[in-house]
Amino acid sequence: MTEISIASETFNVLIEGDEIKPVLMLAHPLGTNLHFWDPQMPALLEHFWVLRYDLRGHGASIANAGPYSIEGLGRDALAIIDALAIAKVHWLGLSIGSIIGQWLLIHARERIGRAVLASTAAQLPGPDLWNSRIQSARESGMDGVAMAAAERWFTKAFRKAHPEKVETVMEMVRAAPLQGYLAGCAAIRDMDHREAIRGITNEVLVIAGRHDPTAPPSMGAFVADAIKGAKFITLEASHISNIEDEANFTKAVIDFLTSPEAAAAASLRRRKAQPKKAPMRQPAVRKTAAKQAPSRKIAAKKSARKQAAPKKLPVKKASEKKANKKIGLRKTAAKTAAKKTGASRKASARKRS
């Protein structure tokens, strides 16, 4: 166990497994604690570095006066992974733990990989129901809460066949701080994610218990339908499906979180990131460019010569014309001189005669 202090408030955290594996964060239902996930731990540790924590108002975490909000509980989760310097986690939550997961997927999707939302709902209608439950808990204490929860959380057949498993969960409920439970009830009462979950883009698996009166399959189906690409399954269980149908629940979670689709998506993300390594390849590109440069210069010179030649022709023609004019003038001058010489000679001959 590890105690993490966040803004002078203490949270009880348990981290197990190989830290080089992907991180999976677990969030338990109302009135329980991080040991709620004990049945899944051996299988989960084969694939993940598992981070469990007691929600605010539960277990050994701070149990301050409420009411709480789902947003506040979601920010607690973010503060914990920040304190542990974890950038991103997969999420597995059941009941209120799944509702906190919804908030994270809506408001901090970049911190969540894949998410499993079990026994979930986008809204649990009926404020009067939750106010009545709060009042009843105040009057009967957590013992009364445990008795009522057992009937809602497990089918009659399971309670009869496995009383010891039911009792393990009810011991957690009886040990939960009363004010933490009451504040958690208020958080669920005031929650409404019906529209916001439509913007979720992460990969999500929704698990519903076929016999769950608290969050029936229709509510889970609504969540799955609202999230693009979400998967939906039902198990032969009531609200606490990870215990009543332990084997199928655990298999569904691990299959979803470790499916080849996830590996393929990660591979694609790595391939898209490769251009960032381009600078390492630049020397080769530069060498190739250097080898090609001389031929380009030669071609450029040849082209320049070809283009320069037409420009010189007019100059030559102009000089030739000038030269011809000069020659013409010389010839004319010579003819004129000859004529003058001939004339002078004739004049001289006339004089002599």
DSSP letters for 123-137: ----HHHHHHHHHHH
Angstrom distances, CA of residue 185 to CA of 116, 274, 341, 350: 22, 48, 137, 150
Q: Hey, what are 186's tokens?
A: 């208020």
Q: Widest CA span of the chain, in angstroms?
A: 170
Whether residue 28 contacts residue 34, with contact meaning beta carbons closer than 8 Å, is answered with yes
Give per-residue pLDDT as tens, 62-108. Answer: 999 888 999 999 999 999 999 999 999 999 999 999 999 999 999 99
Contacts with 335 (C-beta within 8 Å, 6 or more apart), sequence order: none
What is the mean predicted confidence (pLDDT) over 295-322? 40
CA distance 113 to 51: 14
Preceding omega of 67 cis (within 30 degrees of 0)? yes
- For the chain, the first-to-last Cα distance in angstroms comes to 152
Angstrom distances, CA of residue 165 to CA of 3, 120, 169, 242: 28, 22, 7, 11
Q: For residue 296, is pLDDT > 50?
A: no
Q: What is the pLDDT, as a whole number, of residue 262?
A: 52
Neighbours of 86 (CB within 10 A): 16
What is the mean predicted confidence (pLDDT) over 137-146? 97
pTM above 0.95, yes or no: no
155 HSE (CA, 13 A, CB side): 15
Q: Hey, what are 184's tokens?
A: 């958690």
CA distance 62 to 321: 106
Neighbours of 340 (CB within 10 A): 10
Radius of gyration of the chain (CA): 44
Tell me the sheet residues that pair with 50.
16, 24
Q: What is the pLDDT, as a whole number, of residue 111?
A: 98
What is the mean predicted confidence (pLDDT) over 7-26? 96
Range with the lowest mean pLDDT among 72-81, 116-125, 128-137, 287-296?
A: 287-296
Q: Which residue has the higher pLDDT, 196 or 7?
A: 196
